[in-house]
Structure 1
Amino acid sequence: MPSPRPGARAILIGTASYTHPDLTAIPAALNNLTDLRQILTSAGGAFAPEHCVVVPDPRSGTEVGEALAEAAGEATDVLLVYYTGHGVLDSRGRLHLTVTGTNPARPSWSSVPFQMLREEILESRATARVLILDCCYSGRAFEAMSDTTTVIAGETSIHGTYTITSSAANEASFAPRGDRNTAFTAALLAAAKAADLTLDDLYRRTEQHLIDHGHPRPRRRSIDAAGGLKLLGATDELRFRRAADAGDVATMNSLGVLLHKRGDLDEAETWYRKAADTGHTSAIYNLGLLFEDRGGFDEAEIWYRKAAGTGHTRAMNSLGVRLDKRGELDEAETWYRKAADTGHTSAIYNLGLLLENRGEFDQAETWYRKAADTGHTRAMNNLGVRLDKRGEPDEAETWYRKAADTGHTSAIYNLGLLLEKNGQLDEAETWYRKAADTGHTKALNNLRLLVEKRGSS
């Protein structure tokens, strides 16, 4: 696997939020930065993580300029500059890249004039420079990157420049509402999933993706041989896709998990089903999780039952939870016990909870204690409550403290209650304050009453 290029530097700039009412927010801009950085710094990518700098929501042109100057000054091999956000034009039609405080009526004073960004890029000693602009009117960059004066004054200053823009000089770009990424960067990322690409390959695939989805055609300009560069690494997703396409069942499930976490539920379902059709138990269980995330509880139960029937412990517990919520306590208990017998901590706790709700307090305590002994925080708190109610404050305090030390809010509050009841008012106040700081309403009220009581005594 190729190593990152020592002389390669990347700076990814994105503006999502704006103070001026005429500039709408672009939430996807920050996702663009995160997702692009992940590919650039993945195994096989050109950039080491510490050399791929992200500048989210810059407040001023100076903030952008300082970060760009540092990256451009350090780059000796490749310099990549990416910008996502609004592009605005001044009265002379010149492109400006917005920052959070940009006033579109006065872009020259409140944004990043592209001319300044261009000069910083061209002064870098990097042998290859790559500029990617995802903004309205980004095609205006070509006018600035190849003006006649620059070409005549010093052709070597633009050697190896490769520019990709999301739109032509007179076009707007798109950020579909609710999508994770802007249209152009989504296409860029989609293209990068296909294979390890040169810049030319990446552009062509990005262009086709945008055309297929009815978005503006991107533009590019390549000078000399920069189009043959390979900058993108093989991401986990790319490696998973290759193995899954080759028929590796475990990787089909892993790809489904990756897509599921990212919110691509339809494609995740496709890969889960392919793996589940071969009998892959975790994929069968994961289908249950996916349907539960969608609110399809009946369908989720079907898949949980299939996985639980093969002995999948987490599926047993999840099936128990579904039955428990539906009020079918006897069958829920059966599945909790099966999972608990394998040592599944959440099932052990859930069994205790079910038994307590049924009034079987001694049995509930037994199971809470088993879960608490494994470090289950809620079980520690619930065990403390049972002991507290039974009149064993010393042991109750022990368990409350263990749970409170992990930040469990109810345990923090319960510890305050117990200490106040024992007359330890100073420490009770301390714990009430900690719980109140998390927004615990009862703790806030008890703190107020305790302070008033101590103040009047």
Structure 2
Amino acid sequence: MSVLPDPGASRAVLVGTSRYEHLEQLPAVSNNLLALADLLCGPLSLQLPARHVSVVEDPVAAHTVVGAVRAAAGEATDTLIVYFAGHGLVDAQDQLSLALPHTEFGRMETGLPYDWLRQVLLMDSRAERHVVILDCCYSGLALGRMGAGSPLADQAAVEGSFLLAAAAETRTALAPVGQTYTAFTGALLDTLGRGIPGGPALLDLAAVYRHVRLTLEARGHPVPQARDRNSGAQVALGRNHAALPAVPVPTAPGGDTGERSWPDPRSIRTVTGFFTALADVRVVSGLTQQAVSERSAGRISVGTVSRLLNRSTLPATWSTTSAYLAACGVPDGQITQWQAVWQRLRADTSSARAASPAAAGGGEPERTRAWQEPLSVFRRGRGH
């Protein structure tokens, strides 16, 4: 079954090299990074908090990238997404190397071996699911590192991993001159942003891969490759907004809601995920906030609905959330599951508050302030 990651427990690291000293320039890569970061944080995709998306643009050295991925791998407990766009090269052992600004042909020590990133995911990651997206030439070489057939490949069988490569192991990727994005990432952005007409309710990686592949094949562009390990293909990168129900749920709350793909409360792990999924309930219901209020039989006003969906802390009581879910048409059995999640998160929050050093001193932990750096914390700023 397809699942949307909890945004509060997920992280994304977006890496790209657009400016090279010795290789052809790829200005579209910079646009790739900005657009993909915006999409992952926006309502058409995972709605990740901005602080959970690290953008590493034109990294000066391999350790900059590895450090960013390792940091995110230590934070994510649900899903970790690692994306790279730029030139891809092949070393003397026919292994993929990701080109950095100072990379030179024939001097592979100036690049970033893909295997280094793979090792971080294998050894340092706490995430249950891993998504690796490579938009570079020869990126299909990485598929062999995720496949079966050798002891080394078996070690790479991380539960829930999915690798999506822009090109086969012997093919170059495409960055059309004058286009805003590279061919592969442009198709990926379009798929996530517009949805797939007639596609599934959730844009899981299996559906995204098929659609992007068909799109690029129809354009005569290099077709992407993929490797799925276990449940990796079931990870969704967003809701399919092209497949949302055309009509609201039936008038009577709790009535027949058909085949609507309600957010699964069992996948919620964090308070951030709780409110993201709660807002998604209204989207799936097809109702406006005014309509939700009217269907609650006076239990919640429009203002109450708005305040509920824009909270950052859990409500102290359950009644308002219960009335909201019922008015949206969520089945009673799922409302019970929602209540269990609310109770668990409140207990976790109370325990964390009691154990926090700030609880005694009244101040905010230094680590929390540091994590509120802007999204471009790892970027090499232009003009510096």
Q: What is the letter of the counterpart of residue 163 of structure 1?
A: L
- Partner of residue 36, structure 2: 36
Q: 1:185 matched to which residue of 2?
A: 185
Aligned residue among 7, 10, 13 for 1:8: 10
Question: In the TM superposition, what whole-angstrom CA distance separates every residue of 1:235-265 from its partner, at most 9, and x where no partner exists?
Answer: xxx69x989x99xxxxxxxxxxxxxxxxxxx
Cα distance change on mapping 1:206 and 1:48 into 2, 3 Å: same
CA distance in 2 between counterparts of 1:242 and 1:206 reads 20
Matches within 5 A, 1:226-245: 226-232=232-238
CA contact (8 A) 1:46 1:233 kept: no
- The one-letter code of the counterpart of 2:50 is P
Question: 1:156-305 alignment to 2 at 5 Å?
Answer: 158-195=158-195, 196-232=202-238
Contact 1:41 1:233 in 2 (8 A): no
Distance 1:80 1:101 in 2: 25
- 1:117 lines up with 2:117 in the alignment: yes
More helix by share: 1
Question: How far, CA to CA, are the matches of 2:231 and 2:209 in structure 1?
Answer: 14
Kindly provide the amino acid, as one letter, of the partner of residue 120 in structure 1. Answer: V
Amino acid at match of 1:58: P
Structure 1 residue 150: Cα displacement? 2.9
- The 2-side partners of 1:190 and 1:32 are apart by 12
> Taking structure 1 as reference, are residues 129 and 3 closer, same or farther at Cα in structure 2, changes over 3 Å only?
closer
Whether contact under 8 Å (1:191, 1:209) holds in the other structure is no
- For the Cα contact (< 8 Å) 1:99–1:110, is it kept in 2? yes
Gaps of 5+ in 1: 247-457
Q: TM-score of the superposition, structure 2-length normalised?
A: 0.57
Is it true that 1:150 corresponds to 2:152 in the alignment?
yes
In the comparison of the two structures, how many residue pairs are matched? 235
3-state SS of the aligned residue for 2:55? strand
Q: Secondary structure at the match of 2:82?
A: strand
In the alignment, which residue of structure 2 is the partner of 1:45?
46
Q: Secondary structure at the match of 2:137?
A: coil
**One-letter amino acid of the structure 2 residue matched with residue 172 of structure 1:** T
Deviations 1:393-430 (A, max 9, x none): xxxxxxxxxxxxxxxxxxxxxxxxxxxxxxxxxxxxxx
Write the deviation string for residues 100-124 of structure 1: whole angstroms up to 9, x where unpaired: 11112111x1111011111112221
CA distance 1:77–1:212, change in 2 (3 Å): same
User: One-letter code of the match for 2:141?
Assistant: R
1:347-368 Cα offsets, whole Å, 9 max, x none, are: xxxxxxxxxxxxxxxxxxxxxx
SS of alignment partner, residue 77 of structure 2:
coil
Over residues 310-366 of structure 1, what are the superposed CA-to-partner deviations in whole Å (9 max), with x where a residue is unaligned? xxxxxxxxxxxxxxxxxxxxxxxxxxxxxxxxxxxxxxxxxxxxxxxxxxxxxxxxx
Deviation at 1:146, TM superposition (A): 3.3
Using the TM superposition, give the Cα deviation of residue 46 of structure 1 relative to its aligned residue in structure 2, in angstroms: 5.1
Structure exhibiting the larger radius of gyration computed from Cα positions: 1
- Preserved contact between residue 46 and residue 230 of structure 1 (Cα < 8 Å): no
Structure 1 runs of 4+ with >3 Å offset? none
**Larger relative CO (CA 8 A, sep 6+): 1 or 2?**
2
Whether the aligned pair in 2 keeps the contact of 1:42 and 1:233 (CA below 8 Å) is: no
* In 1, Cα distance between equivalents of 2:171 and 2:224: 10
Q: Which amino acid aligns with 2:66?
A: G
Alpha carbons 2:28, 2:180 under 8 Å: kept: yes
Task: Classify the secondary structure of the residue corresponding to 1:99.
Answer: coil
Q: C-alpha displacement at 1:149, in angstroms? A: 2.2
The offset of 1:3, in angstroms, is: 8.9
1:385 is matched with none
Q: Give CA deviations for 1:13-39 in whole Å, capped at 9, x if unaligned.
A: 00000011xx10000001001111111
